[in-house]
Amino acid sequence: MNAPASLTRDLRADFPGLVTREGEPWHYLDTAATSQKPRSVIDAMARAMGEDYATVHRGVYSRSADMTLAYEAARRRIAELVGGSENEIVFTRGATEAINLAANSWGRANLKAGDRILLSQLEHHSNIVPWQMVAEATGAQIDVIPLTDDHRIDLDAAEAMISSEHKLVALAHVSNVLGSVLDAKRAADMAHGVGANILLDGCQAVPHMPVNVAALDCDFYVFSAHKLYGPTGIGALWARAELLEAMPPWEGGGSMIDRVTFEKTTYDAAPQRFEAGTPAITEAIAFAAAVDYVSEVGLEQMHEDEAKLVAKLRRELTAMNDVTVFGPDDSAGIVSFAIDGIHPHDLGTILDEANVAIRAGHHCAQPLMDYLGVPATARASFGLYSTQADVDALLEGIARTRRIFGKD
């Protein structure tokens, strides 16, 4: 295990992707899209794909049994990260599939014409489109919570909107564009007050802060490994055990069955009921290694260091008269902004020439862009490997871009 016990040394050394092919520092400021991977995660996945590899839940030979134990230990480790139990974690291809699972299983079984779903203006497309699809199929309707002046989900407005007709509330725990942090416990209390369930999109929360689903009192929680320094292609749906047990399967195949005949099929218990086919074995092992890494570094320490970088960048950008900075001052690891007269794509292209990587676009949040009145934003997002040098390189790149566009 290569993870350090604290942030007292340079963590960048653990991440082979943070240098260019020429060996120069790469100022990676797109962690909200996907994180770089530490060597311990890469090594864990290589071992699982190599000398340890075998299928799970099927073989009677010892290596298969060992891999099954490791795979289920990974499920247990990931459940521990969010304060859940292993029987409450379903492995999915990512948070997108996790939301689709909840929508297509719980949603189609429980929603009907006249029911309502409550979303917010800042949701990622992945927390909008699945609910639109299930609403169209069931006759349910969708309501949208506006934002406060500092771009948080307006829970005062939500409390005025919600009614007994609402059966599901689905909100981002942390916005992928604005970095605004939801008062998730208040949102859960609001939902439960009218008998609704609440799903939280934790993709941007889990990499930046401790999460405990019991303390949040949510019903569903989703997150992806690749934003938590793990591999792509795997994520998790956490759901209360009684909800999972009552939900029907949404995909059929091997592994999720109890008994199959041509007359009738019976299904396995949750969570296996929702994991049809051969699972992402090596990815699950690497997912658990990523959890080990961030746990050893310490999420609270990571959040504190990232908050300092956010504050520094927001302060510098706000001092520029032609820059609009979006989101609240205490955004979690994310700073979105726009420079008058410079398209975010042009800024991103020029920054890339100086080995600075940011995201430019609508960030899979087009309704939010419409709300903000811009076609796109530039977004800098931090990870546990981010440093003051990354902020300095970004600011230098912005100054160069302004000169190129004749703004200085």
Catalytic residues: 364
For residue 48, the one-letter residue type is A
Q: For residue 407, what are its two tokens?
A: 């703004």
Residues whose CB is less than 8 angstroms from the CB of residue 260 and which lie 6 or more positions away in sequence, other chains included = none
Instruction: Give the span between the Cα atoms of 267 and 27, in whole angstroms.
Output: 49
Task: List, in sequence order, every residue forming a beta bridge with 91; answer none if it has no partner.
Answer: 236
Q: For residue 247, what are its two tokens?
A: 């939900």
Instruction: Give the span between the Cα atoms of 206 and 291, in whole angstroms.
Output: 10
Q: For residue 175, what are its two tokens?
A: 């916005």
Task: List, in sequence order, every residue forming a beta bridge with 5; answer none if it has no partner.
Answer: none
Task: List, in sequence order, every residue forming a beta bridge with 237; answer none if it has no partner.
Answer: 90, 222
H runs (alpha helix) in 266-342 = 281-297, 299-318
Instruction: Give the span between the Cα atoms of 59 and 159, in whole angstroms.
Output: 52
Q: For residue 235, what are its two tokens?
A: 């994520």
**Residues 153/180, Cβ–Cβ less than 8 Å:** yes
For residue 318, the one-letter residue type is T
**Residues 223/81, Cβ–Cβ less than 8 Å:** no
Nearest to 265 by CA among 274, 278, 256: 256
> Cα-atom radius of gyration of the chain, to the nearest Å?
22
H runs (alpha helix) in 111-183 = 129-138, 155-161
